[in-house]
Amino acid sequence: MIYHLMRIEEDLKLDFTDVLIRPKRSTLTSRSEVDIRREFTFLHSQKKYSGIPIIAANMDYVGTFEMARALAKHQLSTALLKHYDEESLVAFFQERDIRQQVFYSMGIAKDDYGKFCRVIDRVGDAIELICVDVANGYTKSFVDFIHKLRSAHPTFTIMAGNVVTGEMTEELVLGGVDIVKVGIGPGSVCTTRKMAGVGYPQLSAIIECADAAHGLGGLICSDGGCTTPGDLAKAFGGGADFIMLGGMLAGHEECSSEIIEQDGMHKVPFYGMSSRAAMNKHAGGVAQYRASEGKAVLLDYRGSVENTLQDILGGIRSACTYVGARRLKEFSKRTTFIRVSRQTNDVFGGS
C-alpha cells in the first residue's frame, strides 16, 4: 500500500499587502506620457488584441451589458455574466461591433455549452472572446471541456480558469487556453479560503503563473484581490497581462442593481458567485452536497463608473512614472518589489 504524505512548502508566498514598488529614476515628466494600452497576438486563436487590459468580472451587478458599453468607450473589456438568457445575448452582440472588448462567459455544464452553440449560430463572428469560468480549474472535467472547446472552435480566443500554480497554467496553455485566469480565494466577496482552506497568495500566484504561461507563449489574467489602483499596479508589475475586477467596479449605475435606502444612504447589493445569494438566484438554492463559498454585502452607491475608471487608470499611469516605464509593456521589467510588514503598509496608506 502506498501512503501519500502531507507536505509543507516553506517558500515565502506574497500578497499585494506584503510589498510596495520601489521607485526608480525616470525621464518622464507627466503621467500623460504613459501609454497603458497593450497589444497581443493570442497563442492559439492568432487573433490580435489592442486595448487597456482590464476586464470587468462576469459577476452579478458587474458583468452587465451596461458595463460593457461603458468600458468599451475606454478600450477596457467586460466578461459578461454567464446567466444572461439566449435572446438577450443575441440582441446585445448584434447591436454593435464590440467583439474585441466583450467575453462571452460560460461554465462547463452541458446546458452552458448548448446555449453557447445556439448563440454562436445566430450571431456568427460577432463573438471572438470566450471566458470559461469555474471555481476549481484543477478538475479533469474542466480540462476535458477546454480540449473539446478548442477542437470545435479553433479561431476563438479562450480565457479560462481559475488556477494558481505554474504546472496547471502550463497544462491549460498547452491544452488550448490563450489567457489563463489566476486566483483562488482572493476576491473581496469570496470565502473559499475560509470555507475550504484552499488558496494561494495572489501576488505569488501571478508571478509563478505568468512565468509558466509566458514561457509557452501564453498569457494570464489576475482575477481577484485588487481593492485599490495600487494593487493593479502590483499585479501588472508581477507579470499579469490582464486584470479582472469585481468589487472595484461594483456599486455603479452601470451595474443594473437595485438601489436600497438604508439610514439615509443609498446602497447596492454585491455578492460572490458561489454565495448563497447567487445560488438562490441562479440555481434554486445551495445544493445539499456543497457549502456557500461567498458572501453578500451592501456597497455605497457610487454613481457613474467614469470617476472610478479615472482613478484606476490614473493610478496605473502614476506607478509607471515612478519606475520610468513609458509603456505598460515595460512596467514589469522595471518593477522591483520591497517586502514590508502589513502593519507598516497599512500605516503608510498601502492596500
Which amino acids are annotated catalytic?
Answer: 190
Number of helices and strands in the chain (H, E): 12, 15
Residue 301 Cα distances to 59, 166, 240, angstroms: 17, 38, 29
How does DSSP classify residue 119? H
Whether the CB-CB separation of 252 and 311 falls below 8 Å is answered with no
Q: How are beta strands 19-21 and 179-182 bridged, if at all?
A: unpaired
Whether the CB-CB separation of 320 and 326 falls below 8 Å is answered with yes
> Is the C-alpha dihedral spanning 17, 21, 22, 23 positive or negative?
negative
Q: Which helix (H) or strand (E) holds 48?
A: strand 48-51
d(CA 86, CA 106): 12
